[in-house]
Amino acid sequence: MSESVPVITLDGPGGAGKGTISRLIAERLGWHLLDSGALYRLTALAALRHEAALDDADALAELARHLDVAFLAEEGATRVLLEGDDVSREIRTERTGDAASQVAVVPAVREALLQRQRDFRKPPGLVADGRDMGTVVFPEAPLKVFLTASAEERARRRYLQLQEAGVDASLSSLLKEIQARDARDMQRSVAPLKPADDAITLDTTRLTIPEVVDRLTEWLTERGLASAT
């Protein structure tokens, strides 16, 4: 049964490094990867495309239940398709991210996506990246990590990403957006953003990506989920 398949959960606010770290850990272990945030971003993008109001719970839940999505792993990256269109870049925009944060507070949407997320749990294991992976979706996971970083550092990282992509951005505006999104995620009534009671919190503000990966690998080895190298 899927309950016997090991799961590592990585939760935390946007910009803490969850996506990159989760992908690297999944590649190192040869496990499956769940980017739960992508499902909420896809629901939000579908709502924007179909002109559904972001506070229309019934319409949003219907979209979430019938999302036509596909994740295609290609050369170290993942292509994301929505209704046949490659939306890999579009779901990462600030507009979609802000809409996703609004959609994620709707209980009916979270309920609609819950089983869909759990279905990613397949042998040999799963690395689950999100905001409520350890608290709600996989509460029995043997290793739960809560990645965080200062809002200022997360805004700086996003600013550099946008610059590298040739997108103009305001660092001060990005900081305000991140702070607003954090508040919305932490204050929502259903599955608020917080560490699981048995999660290990890791502040990545002053850590490099390799340092974070090494730290997680140590914890995995201690729990018998990875071989010592």
Residues annotated within a binding site for ATP: 12-20
Q: Judge whether 126 and 33 are in contact, CB under 8 Å.
A: yes
Q: Considering only CA atoms, which of 8, 4, 16, 33 is closest in space to residue 202?
A: 16
The values of phi and psi at residue 65, to 5°, are: -70, -30
Instruction: Give the Å distances, CA to CA, from 115 to 13, 36, 38, 201.
Output: 22, 12, 15, 26
Could you tell me if 225 and 143 are in contact, meaning their C-beta atoms sit under 8 angstroms apart?
yes
Q: Which residues are annotated as a binding site?
A: 12-20
DSSP 93: S
